[in-house]
Amino acid sequence: MRSKLEWRAARVVAINYPAEDVRAVTFAVEGLRSAFDPGSHTNIKVLIRGEAAVRTYTVLPSAPGELRIAVKLHPNSRGGSAYIWSLAIGDETEMTEPENRFELSWRASRYLLVAGGIGITPIYGMARALAARNQQIRLIYGAKGLTQMAFASELRDLLGDRLETFVQDAGEQFDLAAEFAALPPDGEAYICGPHGLLEAARTIWRESGRSMSRLRFEVFGDSGRFVEQAFSVSVPAYDRTVAVRPDQTMLDALIEAGIDMIYDCRRGECGLCAVDVLDASTVIDHRDVFFSAHERHDSAKMCACVSRAAGGAITIGTGYQPEGA
């Protein structure tokens, strides 16, 4: 199980829209201990179909005693973004103390920041922090259109020509190989965006011969090759078959069904929730950044927190043996 979360009462105090499909919500949070670093995230309690659930979002730079998040309304949302978009001033929920698994190292001579779509949320805070310390920085930011680029005007004012934007609808795209080649040997890249962007970045970075410790990234949990579909997962050790809804992760469905699971990040990064795929009638839609491309191709294992089946049915082994079995 993951470590105990420190929950705090939270109340909505401000709402604004930094892009046409992005809603930023500011919460006054009771008992926050201290400030937090760029790249930090918070957990928030949400209601989905009247049932309690937990979702995780990056925390934007916020005033003391407040946590601010920015959420894109996804058409295939598992319910978290729809809940955030339903909140009004004065609504109450609970949030956790921010924690960070996407930290700046503060050791590089130059930083390349790369954001794809709503992946700007951690990158925005990093850009502000690096600029405040007069660090060498370049930010490349891509989105479907200019109106989908949250915080673009603020970042332009902050960075000037150190920011370059790429509009997908205009056929513009990143040249990651050139961007990486322009970095000095001790330069670092920080990337947040959809799965395809991160996979391309990781491949190009590795092929360049650079140290993998100088490439940091964060992925969206809902970024996959297939639209979310319902599927079923059988766990022979428990003699159980569990239905997974399109708006639900396999990890959540298994836990709700009483299947013992170990997990932590819920973002496909740590690998703790990985299960053995014993049989599958369909394709496994791998959405993690933990396994290598070869391991994902073999599909012998999958991360239950983000990966899923493209419909159909799968059979898994969790590594646990139920009591009395």
User: For residues 205 and 209, what is the distance between their CA atoms, to the nearest angstrom?
Assistant: 7
Span 205-262, pLDDT tens digits: 999 999 999 999 887 655 667 778 899 999 999 999 999 988 788 998 999 999 999 9
Q: What's the predicted TM-score (pTM) here? A: 0.81
Backbone angles phi, psi at 213, to 5 degrees: -70, -15
Backbone angles phi, psi at 263, to 5 degrees: -165, 165
Q: Where are the chain's structural domains?
A: 7-96, 111-219, 231-317
Closest CA to 253 of 53, 115, 76, 113: 53
- What integer is the mean pLDDT of 297-301? 90
Look over the chain and give the mean of its residue pLDDT values, rounded to a whole number: 90
Hey, what amino acid is at 139?
A: L
Please give the pLDDT value at position 1.
36
Token reading at 309: 């089946």
Span 26-37, pLDDT tens digits: 999 999 987 899
Backbone angles phi, psi at 182, to 5 degrees: -75, -10
**Side-chain-side CA neighbours of residue 168 (13 Å):** 11
CATH of domain 7-96: 2.40.30.10
Fold of 111-219: Rossmann fold (3.40.50)
Report which secondary-structure segment, H or E, holds 216: strand 215-219
- Architecture of the 231-317 domain: Roll (3.10)
